[in-house]
Copies of this chain bind each other. A is one copy, B any other.
């Protein structure tokens, strides 16, 4: 089940996005041209096939400009949509819909783009248990909704921030003077409910990590062959995560190594927006 984010989390973002677009004088084009009393019905339609994410943000954009606007959803977040298919219909003041349009679309296209990219990788792994997860390489200010979009695309989430799991990387190890002191200090510092993951580059490091008893290992930039041997070496003693330069094309081979998950930074930092438009009806 897709975990939705409550409006109380989303509304401040949408307010800020509307204010960013309205500036100091508001929508001077629409205000000058569109008669105030006019009502309209418009359709949010996909121009390309994809997976939907972000309808709550689009709804809030319309509602914050016109509290009486209604968004009727045909293809909810997490479902696929064909090119030309209607995702939702919005009814409201014509002027209000035009004023809110860009903000609604900016969220919807961006997040649907992430969901679409995620869904494509997930589809490539069809039948395999490996999870597709995102990273902390997100656009500043959008982490919560970008990670939501990954879930909408069938992916899962890695850490949400620096505070919800320990992830020990190269630099930490170097500064701590070794893997063992790094892991020991981390374990002494955090509570029992926080997991500890360690980045390893070689099978030797992996062996040391397993002896230290970490919860998860990030297998960084390993070849498919090395990944396979790493999974065998772990033997279920830790969660295994493949990371580094994984593309949609290379994903299946990596998953077939048996890793529990693969993390892809580009899902959130470089996905192509899904092309969605707001069309007049009749």
Contact = CB atoms under 8 A, between A and B. Distances in A.
A17 B5 CA distance: 16
Interface stretch (A119-127, A160-168, A203-211, A226-234): A160-168
Contacts of A235: none
A101 B105 CA distance: 31
A41 B108 CA distance: 35
B4 A160 contact: no
Contacts of A22: 5-6, 8-9, 161-163
A222 interface: no
B161 A34 contact: no
A1 B200 CA distance: 24
For this chain, the copies found in one complex come to 6
A251 interface: no
A186 B133 CA distance: 17
Interface residues of A, number: 102
Nearest to A29: B166
Contact of A23 (B13, B24, B193): B24
Contacts of A188: 1, 32
A20 interface: yes
A243 interface: no
B32 A186 contact: yes
Given A138-B106, A164-B164, A24 B20 contact: yes
Given A25-B163, A140-B106, A193 B158 contact: yes
Contacts of A52: none
A65 B7 CA distance: 7
Contact of A106 (B14, B94, B174, B269): B269
A65 B6 contact: yes
Interface of A: 1, 3-6, 8-9, 13-35, 38, 40, 64-65, 94, 96, 98-99, 102-103, 105-107, 109-110, 113, 131, 133, 136-144, 147, 156-168, 170-172, 174-176, 181-182, 185-186, 188-195, 197, 215-216, 239, 260-261, 266, 269-273, 280
11 contacts: A1-B189, A6-B18, A9-B26, A20-B140, A20-B141, A30-B162, A33-B176, A106-B140, A109-B269, A157-B191, A193-B239
